[in-house]
Amino acid sequence: MDAIKFVHDQMTNQPEFPEFRAGDNIVVSYKIIEGDKERIQDFRGDVIQIKGSGSTKTFTVRKMSSGVGVERIFPLVSPNIVGIKVLKYGKVRRKRLFYLRDLVGKKARIKERKFTSKK
C-alpha cells in the first residue's frame, strides 16, 4: 500500500483546517460553479461521521433544514472546500452518530464539550 500512500502525498495538498470530531457543529464553506460563475456557499451542521484515510478521507455533516434532515458528504482534501469553522465542540460517546437520524427536536441535540483549565 506504500505506492498508494505515495500517490496521496504527491497528488493532494493537505488542507489546513481546524481539527474536528464527530459531534462537533461546523460550517463548511464550499465553492459552487454555476456555468462560468463561482460562488461560495455555507453548510452548517453536526459532524456525524469521519471515515477513510489519506486523500479519500471524508466527513458527513447533518443538519435539519425546515424540518427535513439533510446530510452531505465532503471529501476532506477537496479543492472545492474553501474553509471549515468549528462553532461548537460536542460531547458524544461514539464515532458515528447515526442514531441522530432517528431522533427529532430536543432529543437530537448534542451536549457541548466544555473545556476546563487544569489547575
Partner 1 sequence: MNGLIGKKVGMTSVFDGNGRNVACTVIEMGPCVVTQVKTEESDGYSALQLGFGEAKEKNTTRPELGHFAKAKTTPKQRVVEFRDFDAVEKAVGDLVNVDEIFEEGDYVSAIGTSKGKGFQGVVKRHGFKGVNDATHGQHNRQRAPGSIGAASYPAKVFKGMRMAGRDGGRRVKTTNLEVVKIFPEQNIILVKGAVPGHKGGFVILEK
Footprint on this chain of partner 1 (rule: CB under 8 A): 1, 3-4, 6-8, 10-12, 31, 33, 54-56, 75, 77-80
Of 8 and 85, the one with the shorter C-beta distance to partner 1 is 8
**Rounded Cα distance, 87 and 43, in Å:** 12
CA angle 52, 58, 60 (to 5 degrees): 125
Closest separation in Å from C-beta 101 to partner 1:
25
Collect all residues with Cβ–Cβ distance below 8 Å to 29 and sequence separation of at least 6: 40, 41, 42, 81, 82, 83, 84, 85
Closest separation in Å from C-beta 34 to partner 1:
13
Of 50 and 108, the one with the shorter C-beta distance to partner 1 is 50
**Rounded Cα distance, 109 and 46, in Å:** 10
Of 10 and 117, the one with the shorter C-beta distance to partner 1 is 10
Closest separation in Å from C-beta 56 to partner 1:
6
SS3 112: strand
Closest separation in Å from C-beta 12 to partner 1:
7
